[in-house]
Amino acid sequence: MPNILILAFLGGVSMTTKKNYTKEQLIYWLQDFAEELGKTPTQQELDDEPSMPCKTTYRFYFRNYSNACKKAGLEVNKAGRKRK
């Protein structure tokens, strides 16, 4: 195994390619996805949708997902897990 792969595996480093977005693109996509769902997407729904940037991307650009939702004019989801 090449050294970089060993280091990535041991250090938990992501080997995915970083994509550059604008905040405007991210807001537009978040609004569009929310319209499609009929509600503010949860972070899990973002991660489950292959056509959407992941929650980590939104956190990177907006400090947290709630800020991204606010900037997009969406209702902020309540924190915590839903119980079955």
CA 36 to chain centre: 17
CA 66, CA 79: separation in Å to the nearest integer?
10
Asked if pLDDT for residue 4 goes beyond 70, the answer is: no
The proportion of the chain whose per-residue pLDDT surpasses 90, expressed as a percent, equals 67
Q: Does residue 10 sit within a domain? A: no
CB atoms under 10 Å from CB of 60, counted, come to 14
User: Domain total for the chain?
Assistant: 1
Average pLDDT over residues 23-36: 96
Residue 38 belongs to what domain range?
A: 19-71
If you average pLDDT over every residue of the chain, what do you get? Answer: 82
Q: Does residue 14 sit within a domain? A: no
Average pLDDT over residues 76-82: 74
Q: Does residue 80 sit within a domain? A: no
Q: Does residue 2 sit within a domain? A: no
Q: Does residue 79 sit within a domain? A: no
Q: Does residue 4 sit within a domain? A: no
Q: Does residue 84 sit within a domain? A: no
DSSP labels, the chain: --HHHHHHHHHT---SPP----HHHHHHHHHHHHHHHTSPPPHHHHHH-TTS--HHHHHHHHSSHHHHHHHTTPPPPPSSPPP-
pTM check: above 0.75: no
